[in-house]
């Protein structure tokens, strides 16, 4: 009986060491979580009041892009761009939505553009002021900056 008790005590002591695991450090856990995050994509795309009610992510994203494109086209189609630059039918506009809901519009011109880029930029900037309110993109519930380029078709009037 003494041998059995001694054997059981030894077994208990060694089995406790068998189940013990090293607890990972806080820094290692944080690094592991940061490595798991895809920083190239956002959890929630920016939004406008027209798209807030949509629940499907891809439909919501497309609604936002369509809204932005249509709003930019509407504002630019009634200006001197269509008169001064009648040959210009499409322009790429880089849109940045900042985490504080500010918007920045930058027209993207090809290197070999013969147009006055500064004048076109000033016309575009003046027409895209007072833009409707846009909610910023979210990554893990935190507002983040996001940028994308939209092809804007200008209504050319002949």
In tens, the pLDDT along 92-111 reads 889 999 999 999 998 887 77
Distance CA 109, CA 81 (A): 14
pTM of the predicted model over 0.75: no
Helix and strand tally (H, E) in the chain? 5, 5
Q: Please tell me which residue, 5 or 16, carries the higher pLDDT value.
A: 5
Average pLDDT over residues 35-47: 84
Domain enclosing residue 34, as ranges: 26-153
| 158 within domain boundaries | no
Q: What is the mean pLDDT of the chain?
A: 81
Picking from 86, 46, 67, 71, the residue whose alpha carbon sits closest to that of residue 127 is: 71
Q: Which residue has the higher pLDDT, 45 or 40?
A: 45
137 is a domain residue: yes
Does residue 20 fall inside a structural domain? no
- Does some domain include residue 42? yes
With beta carbons less than 8 A apart as the criterion, state whether 136 and 99 touch.
yes
Tokens linked to 142: 């935190």
Q: Is the pLDDT of residue 113 over 50?
A: yes
Answer whether residue 86 is part of any domain: yes
Residue 52 forms part of a structural domain: yes
- Is residue 1 in some structural domain? no
The pLDDT score that the predictor gives to residue 158 is 46
Whether residue 82 is predicted with pLDDT greater than 80 in this model: the reply is no
Angle at 66 between CA 65 and CA 72, to 5 degrees: 90
Residue 13 belongs to a domain = no
């Amino acid at each position: 009986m003494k041998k059995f008790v001694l054997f059981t005590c030894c077994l208990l002591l060694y089995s406790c060491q068998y189940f013990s695991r090293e607890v990972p450090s806080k820094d290692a856990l944080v690094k592991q979580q940061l490595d798991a995050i895809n920083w190239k994509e956002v959890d929630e795309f920016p939004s406008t009041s027209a798209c807030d009610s949509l629940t499907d992510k891809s439909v919501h994203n497309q609604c936002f892009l369509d809204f932005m494109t249509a709003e930019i086209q509407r504002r630019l189609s009634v200006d001197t761009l269509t008169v001064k630059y009648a040959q210009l039918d499409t322009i790429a506009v880089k849109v940045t939505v900042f985490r504080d809901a500010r918007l920045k519009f930058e027209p993207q011109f090809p290197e070999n553009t013969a147009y006055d880029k500064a004048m076109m930029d000033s016309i575009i900037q003046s027409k895209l002021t007072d833009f409707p309110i846009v909610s910023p993109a979210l990554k893990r519930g935190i507002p983040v900056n996001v940028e994308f380029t939209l092809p804007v078709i200008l209504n050319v009037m002949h």
